[in-house]
């Protein structure tokens, strides 16, 4: 006699609550069938082998689930690493932009420094020009003062000579008048003496009378004319001399006035240049201080930028090392997963071969259920005479894995639960 095998049922739903495995207890009662003890022993041995294979298959399924969870965890880590790499690349771009901005600011500071240096050189050139002009004007002023002193001395000498000449003229005039009076008196004395010593034979014409007064007046007029000519010549000579000295004195006065005007103009120019120098000196000091400040700020900015670049390069190298390490770990885990997949496929082939060998029919029920932090349940074996083995996969608590992150715990999806029922073939 035989029994009808349980029909295969394979349903796959996205979210289905876990149903408990129900067992018909009537099937647990042994049937009274006269079977050869050797066949019964063979069947018992086959049952034990199938139990062992089921246990091994359950352990392999557990390993597959664990590897799938580890694979999902590694994929999540890989996505996180890729997002971190993207964020690090965006951070690197931001730092590069910041460094480029700092370099632009540094170039601007260098350009400002060069411009300030050019302005300083131009101001220094203008200052040197004003200084040379000031020194030239100072030397001109010194020369003008020296010329003024010399001309003042010349004017004083001319005035003294004029006074001396006027004094000499008055003395000579007095002397001339005195000499003229003396000469006139001497001539009159000599004339009188000559007339006194002269013996004159005079033929008297009684018809005429001699007029001596007329003769004396003629002689006197002649000598007075001579004296007047001499006096006129002397006065004319002295007058010419005085006019010449007056012209020289006026010329010296004009030169003195022009020299005083030039000296006043030079004094005004010197004052203006001194005021400009006093105004330019603080500007030069401020420009020099600003140049020093700009240079110090530029050096500090360059030093800070270099330090930031070094820190960024160091962080980039560390990130590259961490990424390379994680990639190596991922490759190792993928190799392990590949080896386990090969082993699982090998066991599957072995089990299929065993099933083909013993002519078993397998009912596979695949259900999908969400994880709700259910503790792992042991594998339940239900065996009877007609039913060889019933196994259900344990549901692992994903939150109990020490290597799983909180993000994975919150976003864990449903897992697949396989229920495998293996039945013996019917024997007549």
**Per-residue model confidence as pLDDT tens digits over 388-417:** 333 333 334 333 343 344 444 444 444 444
pLDDT digits (tens, 9 = 90+) for 217-268: 777 788 788 878 877 887 888 788 788 888 887 887 788 888 888 888 888 8
Specify the pLDDT at position 412: 41
Evaluated on CA atoms 147, 150, 153, 154, the torsion sign reads negative
**Distance, CA of 101 to CA of 191 (rounded, Å):** 127
Rounded Cα distance, 10 and 55, in Å: 22
- Which is more confidently placed, 406 or 57? 57
Predicted local distance difference test score (pLDDT) of residue 357: 76
Q: Given a cut of 60, is residue 4 above it in pLDDT?
A: no
Task: Give CA 327 to chain center in angstroms.
Answer: 40
Residue appearing with tokens 């030093």: 303
**Separation of alpha carbons 33 and 63, rounded Å:** 41
Q: Is pLDDT at 33 greater than 60 in this prediction?
A: no
The single residue listed with the structure tokens 């030239």 is 136
Nearest-5° Cα angle at 234, 230 to 235: 115
Q: Contact, 385 vs 47, CB < 8 A?
A: no
Q: What's the pTM value of the predicted model, to 2 decimals?
A: 0.28
With b for 16 or more beta-carbon neighbours within 10 A and e for fewer, the 54-74 pattern comes to beebbebbeebbebebbebbb
Rounded CA-CA distance 142/139 in Å is 5
DSSP 398: G
- Say what the pLDDT of residue 30 is: 52
- H/E stretch holding 271 reads helix 212-358
Parse the chain into domains and list their residue ranges.
Answer: 107-197
Calculate ∠ Cα 56-60-66, nearest 5°: 145
58 pLDDT higher than 70: yes
Burial class (CB in 10 A: 0-12, 13-18, 19+), 367: buried
Collapse the DSSP code of 386 into the 3-class scheme (helix H, G, I; strand E, B; otherwise coil) and give the result.
coil
| SS3 state at 201 | coil
In angstroms and rounded to an integer, the radius of gyration of the C-alpha atoms of the chain is 72
Q: What is the Cα–Cα distance from 418 to 58, expressed in whole angstroms? A: 10
Given a cut of 80, is residue 274 above it in pLDDT? yes
Q: Flag whether pLDDT at 368 surpasses 60.
A: no
- Angle at the Cα of 396 from the Cα atoms of 392 and 399, rounded to 5 degrees: 165
- Nearest alpha-carbon partner for 419 in 373, 369, 354, 370: 369
> Looking at residue 373, what is its pLDDT?
39
Ranges 76-80, 344-348, 392-396, 412-416, most confident: 344-348
Are residues 290 and 116 in contact, defined by beta-carbon separation less than 8 angstroms? yes
pLDDT at 107 over 50: yes
Give the Cα separation of 382 and 22 in Å (integer): 10
Give all strands (DSSP E) within 115-203, no chain letters: none
In 192-237, where do the E strands start and end? none
pLDDT in tens, 311-335: 888 888 888 898 888 888 888 888 9
């Amino acid at each position: 006699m035989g029994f009808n095998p349980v029909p295969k049922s394979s349903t796959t739903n996205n979210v289905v609550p876990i149903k408990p495995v129900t067992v018909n207890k009537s099937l647990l009662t042994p049937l009274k069938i006269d079977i050869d003890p050797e066949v019964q022993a063979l069947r018992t041995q086959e049952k034990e082998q199938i139990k062992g294979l089921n246990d091994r298959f359950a352990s392999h399924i557990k390993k597959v689930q664990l590897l799938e969870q580890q694979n999902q965890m590694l994929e999540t880590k890989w996505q996180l690493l890729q997002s971190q790499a993207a964020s690090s690349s965006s951070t690197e771009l931001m730092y590069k932009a910041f460094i480029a901005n700092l370099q632009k600011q540094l170039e601007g500071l260098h350009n400002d420094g060069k411009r300030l240096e050019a302005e300083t050189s131009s101001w220094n050139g203008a200052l040197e020009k004003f200084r040379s002009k000031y020194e030239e004007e100072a030397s001109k002023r010194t020369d003008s003062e020296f010329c003024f002193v010399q001309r003042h001395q010349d004017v004083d000498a001319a005035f003294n000579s004029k006074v001396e000449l006027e004094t000499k003229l008055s003395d000579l005039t007095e002397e001339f008048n005195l000499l003229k009076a003396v000469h006139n008196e001497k001539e009159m004395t000599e004339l009188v003496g000559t007339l006194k010593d002269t013996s004159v034979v005079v033929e008297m014409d009684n018809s005429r009378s001699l007029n001596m007064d007329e003769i004396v007046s003629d002689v006197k007029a002649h000598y007075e004319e001579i004296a007047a000519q001499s006096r006129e010549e002397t006065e004319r000579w002295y007058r010419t001399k005085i006019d010449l000295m007056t012209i020289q004195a006026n010329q010296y006065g004009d030169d003195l006035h022009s020299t005083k005007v030039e000296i006043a103009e030079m004094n005004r120019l010197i004052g203006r240049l001194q005021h400009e120098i006093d105004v330019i000196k603080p500007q030069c000091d401020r420009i020099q201080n600003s140049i020093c400040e700009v240079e110090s700020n530029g050096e500090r900015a360059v030093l800070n930028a270099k330090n930031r670049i070094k820190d960024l390069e160091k962080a980039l190298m560390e990130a590259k090392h961490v990424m390379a390490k994680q990639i190596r770990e991922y490759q190792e885990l993928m190799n392990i997963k590949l080896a386990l997949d090969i082993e699982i496929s090998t066991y599957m082939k072995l089990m299929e071969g065993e099933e083909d060998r013993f002519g078993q029919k397998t009912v596979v029920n695949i259900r999908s259920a969400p994880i709700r932090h259910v503790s792992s349940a042991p594998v339940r074996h239900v065996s009877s005479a007609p039913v060889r083995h019933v196994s259900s996969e344990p549901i692992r608590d994903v939150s109990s894995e020490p290597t799983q992150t909180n993000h994975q715990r919150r976003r864990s999806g449903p897992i697949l639960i396989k229920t495998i029922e293996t039945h013996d073939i019917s024997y007549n």
